[in-house]
Structure 1
C-alpha cells in the first residue's frame, strides 16, 4: 500500500473549506487514490475554526523567528467518511481566517503579507508532523499552489527537515497568476525574519522581476520532483510569455516552466469532474431558489450594504415566475479579471448580448461575488437592464439550479488553467460558450459540444465572442436537431478522475 500526504490551503471534503477549484481537486483525487487501495492523509490549516470538533493528535514544536512555536494537529471528520482517507487540520492562533471564503486575506497595500505568515507557520508545522511520523512513512507528498511550496524550501535548506528528501514531492499549479511574492529581508513578513537560521540561496529563490523577493510559486516549480498543470493545453500556454490581454501564459515564470519541461518534470493532466452522487435540485426550482437565496442574504449583517440591490434582484426575478423566458444564458464564477475581463473592459459588448437576448425573449443569469469593481459594474448593469439577473452572493442550491436549467453556459475566461464550471454545465447537457484557451480548449469543441471564440487581437476576440453568441442563439431558435445533438454530445462527455489519477500515478507519482 502506497502512503500519500496532500498539503493544501483548501479541502472541499471538509465543510466550509473551499474558495475555488483547488478545493474540489483536493477532495476528489484522494477519493480516487483510496479506491485503488492506497492510503491518503490530507492536511489543511484550521483557520481558527476547523479544529473545533476535531480529535487532538499531537503538539508540533519548532522554531520560527528565533522563537519556539507550538502548533496542534487535529484529525477532523469529513463531509463523507471513506476508507483509507484521513483528514487533518493544523491549528495555531496566528493562522487566521481571511475575508475571502474565511480562508485567504486580501492585503491590497502589500500583497500576500498576512497569507505568507500563515502559510510559513502551516508548512513548518506540516514538515514537523512528517518528521515526527504523524502520517506514517510516506511515499509521496503532493503540494498545491504557492501556499504549500515552502515545504520545498525546508526540504532543500533547513537542517531540521532534510528527511523530506527521502520522499517524492509533487507540485500542482492551480492558479499561476497568484504567486506569493515576499521580500527576502527588512519586513516582518519576509523569509529572513521567519527563518533567521537558514542560509538564503538568493539566486535559486529570487523572483526575476523583483530580485529582492522570493517567489513561492517559482519555488514549487524549481524544486519539486514533478510539476503539474491542470490541463494539457494550459501546459502549452504557460511555456510562452504572457502578453495581456491578448494572451495569458507563463506570467513571468515561463523560463522556470521551460526548464522543468526540458528536465522531463512538467506534465499537463486534465482535472476530472465528479459524476457520482451529484446533488440535483428538482427542475423548475430556479426562480424559487433565487428568491430563497436572496431572503437568506438579506438577513445577513455583512450583506446590509447591498440590501437595496438584493431586493431589486428579487423584484426582477418575480416577473419571471409566471412568465418564463424562452432562453436562459448563465455564468457562475468569482467576479475577477480572469473570469470577466472582457465584460469589464467592453461592457458595451455585454449590453449587446443582453439586447440579443431581449429579442429572443431571453435572460442572462449571473451568480457570484468577488472584486468590488466587478460587483459594482454588474450591479449597475442590472439596474439598467431588465433581462440581466445578477445574484450577488453564493448559494449551492441556486448554483445547481443554474447548471440544470440554463440553455447556454457562458465562460469568457481571459485564461483558464482547467475550469470546472464548463464540465458541470456539460454534465447536465448544457452547451457552453467559451473563450478557446487553456483547459477550455481540452473540454469544449465548437459546434460539437458547445461554441468557442478566439482571435489574434483583443478587438477580434470581442467581435468573435458576439458572433459565437449569435450562432448559439440561431442554432437554438432555428435548428433544433443540431441543438439537441450538441446538448446530447455535451452530456455524454466524461472527464473522469479515474483517467486523471491513472496519469498521476504514471507521470507524477512514478508508481506504475
Structure 2
C-alpha cells in the first residue's frame, strides 16, 4: 500500500513545525513501513528547504490560479535519518515562502486570508502534480487539517481532477477550532477568486453558520471517504455542539456533519502515538536536582532577551526569579510543571476568577504551603503572557519562561513531580504522554485524549465538571488532593508515577488501527 500525506507542517523537516500536527506527520510515516506501507509526505516550501537541504527537483507544472498562470516546483528532500519507504517532498512557489514562517497572522476582520490563499494554491499544485509529475499516484490520499482540505474539493468538482476522486481519501481533524473559513466570493482570498470556473455544491462546503463562506474543514469532512479525529473520546465530543459559557468544546459548528459521518460509518477516533526508546526503563529514575534545570533555563532566557534591543520585562523577571531560587538552599520539595501554547484552549481554567483571585493564583498559594514551586514554559496570547508575568512578580514560587525550547521542554519533563494540563479541550495531546514517559504523573481535565491516556489515581489525576465554576472547583480540589497524596502516601505516589512511566501509547498500535479502520476501503 502507498499513502500520500499532505499537510501544512512536518517536523521531519527542520523549521517546518509549529504544533502537534508536525509531530504526527513526522512520526506516523516512520511507523507505517513496519506494516508494509510506503509513505510520501508533501508540504509547502516555506523556508527554501530545497536549497538548505540535499534535494532534487522532480517537476515544474503550471496551474491556473486566481486568473493567473502560476508555476510550482516539486522537490524531494533527503535526510540521513529518513526511514526506508518514506519520502519527503516540498512544493515551491514564491507565495509559500513569504515571511519565511509556516503560518501568517492576519489581523482585523480577514482571518486566515493570507494562509487560505497560500493553501488553496498548494492544494491545486498537489492535484496538478499528481496528474502530470513523478509524484506517485497513491492508494490512499491522507489530508491533514483544513490546510489541505481544498484538495478534496478540487478532486470532487474540477473536471481535470475527476480521476483523483477515485483514490481512497482520509481526512484527519487535528484542531477543529481552526477551520480556515473564507468568503465564497467577493474577496481576493475567496473560493471563487481562486477558482473562478469551479462549479461546486455549496450545501456541502459552505460554513453552516455563515452560508456565504467556504469552510475547508467542513468540505474535508463531507467529501472524504473516511474522517479521523485523534482520540476515541474526542470522536464522541465533536458530535455535540460547543457550549463555551459552560466550558464544553465540541463540534464547533460541524457537529451535524460529523454526526452524519459517524452514522455513515466514516468517522473514526484513533489516539495519536508517542515514540519510546527500546532502552528506556519502565521504572522511574531519581529526579534530577532542580539546579540542573535552572542553568539551561537561565541561558535560554538570555537568548530570548538578546532577540530584541529592548529587554522584555517578562525575561527580566524570569532571570530575577532564577537568581532568587539559586540563592536558596537546594530545592527538594514538590515541583509542578506545565508546557504548552498559551491559548484559551490550554489556559482558560487557570484564568477563571476564583474568590477574588484567579485559579492559577489559588494553586500557587496552595503550592506555597508545602514549599512547592511551579514552572510554566510557553508563549502565545499576549494577554495570557501578561497575566502570567504579573503572577510571577507576586509569587516567589512561580517561574514563567515565556518562549519555547525543545531542549528545555525535555529537561522540564524529567524534573517535575506533577505535570499540569487542565485543557478545556484536547483532541489528543502529546505533552501528557511525554511527561508520563519521563515518570511525571499528570493532572488533567478529563476531556479528549487526556481522558483516554490519564486514569485518575492509577497513572495520574483528573477532574471534570459541567460548568466553568464546577471545573475550577474540581481542578483546585484535585490539585490539593495530589499535593496531600505526595506528602502523606509516598508509596501510593510512587506507584502512580511508575504506572505513568510504564504506560505505552505506541504508534505501532495506532498504525494497526489506521490500516484496519482508515486506509482500507469499506
Structure 1 regions of 5+ residues with no counterpart?
none
How do 1:417-496 and structure 2 match up within 5 A? 417-496=427-506
Q: For the aligned residues, what is the CA RMSD?
A: 1.9
Q: Show CA shifts across 1:275-307 (max 9, x none).
A: 138999994421111011112112213xx4553
Q: Show CA shifts across 1:390-417 (max 9, x none).
A: 0001111110111001000000100010
Q: Partners in 1 of 2:358 and 2:521 — Cα distance? A: 52
The corresponding residue for 1:510 is 520
The corresponding residue for 1:312 is 317
Q: Does 1:275 align with 2:280?
A: no
- Classify the secondary structure of the residue corresponding to 1:56: strand
The corresponding residue for 2:301 is 294
Q: Does 1:330 align with 2:331?
A: no
Does the CA-based 8 Å contact 2:351-2:359 persist in structure 1?
no
- Cα distance, 1:324 vs structure 2: 3.3
Q: Show CA shifts across 1:218-243 (max 9, x none).
A: 00100010000000000000001111
The corresponding residue for 1:340 is 347
The corresponding residue for 1:184 is 184
- Classify the secondary structure of the residue corresponding to 2:171: strand
The corresponding residue for 1:81 is 82
Q: Partners in 2 of 1:329 and 1:465 — Cα distance? A: 14
- Cα distance, 1:374 vs structure 2: 1.1
Q: Partners in 1 of 2:280 and 2:69 — Cα distance? A: 46
Q: Does 1:67 align with 2:68?
A: yes
Does the CA-based 8 Å contact 1:60-1:128 persist in structure 2?
yes
The corresponding residue for 1:163 is 163
- TM-score, length-scaled by structure 2: 0.94
Does the CA-based 8 Å contact 1:8-1:26 persist in structure 2?
yes
Does the CA-based 8 Å contact 1:51-1:74 persist in structure 2?
yes
- Classify the secondary structure of the residue corresponding to 2:244: coil
Does the CA-based 8 Å contact 2:392-2:400 persist in structure 1?
yes
Q: Partners in 1 of 2:478 and 2:133 — Cα distance? A: 55
Q: Partners in 1 of 2:138 and 2:520 — Cα distance? A: 14
136-145 or 273-282, larger mean C-alpha shift: 273-282
Q: Does 1:369 align with 2:375?
A: no
Specify which of 402, 408, 418 is matched with residue 398 of structure 1. Answer: 408
The corresponding residue for 1:15 is 14
Does the CA-based 8 Å contact 1:13-1:27 persist in structure 2?
yes
The corresponding residue for 2:151 is 151
- Cα distance, 1:159 vs structure 2: 1.4
- TM-score, length-scaled by structure 1: 0.96
How do 1:185-224 and structure 2 match up within 5 A? 185-224=185-224
Q: Show CA shifts across 1:86-131 (max 9, x none).
A: 10111111123558xx211111311110000110111111111111
- Classify the secondary structure of the residue corresponding to 2:411: helix
Q: Partners in 1 of 2:244 and 2:212 — Cα distance? A: 25
Would you identify which runs of 4 or more consecutive aligned residues in structure 1 move more than 6 Å? 277-282
Q: Does 1:6 align with 2:5?
A: yes
Q: Show CA shifts across 1:191-248 (max 9, x none).
A: 0001011113222221111110111110010001000000000000000111114211
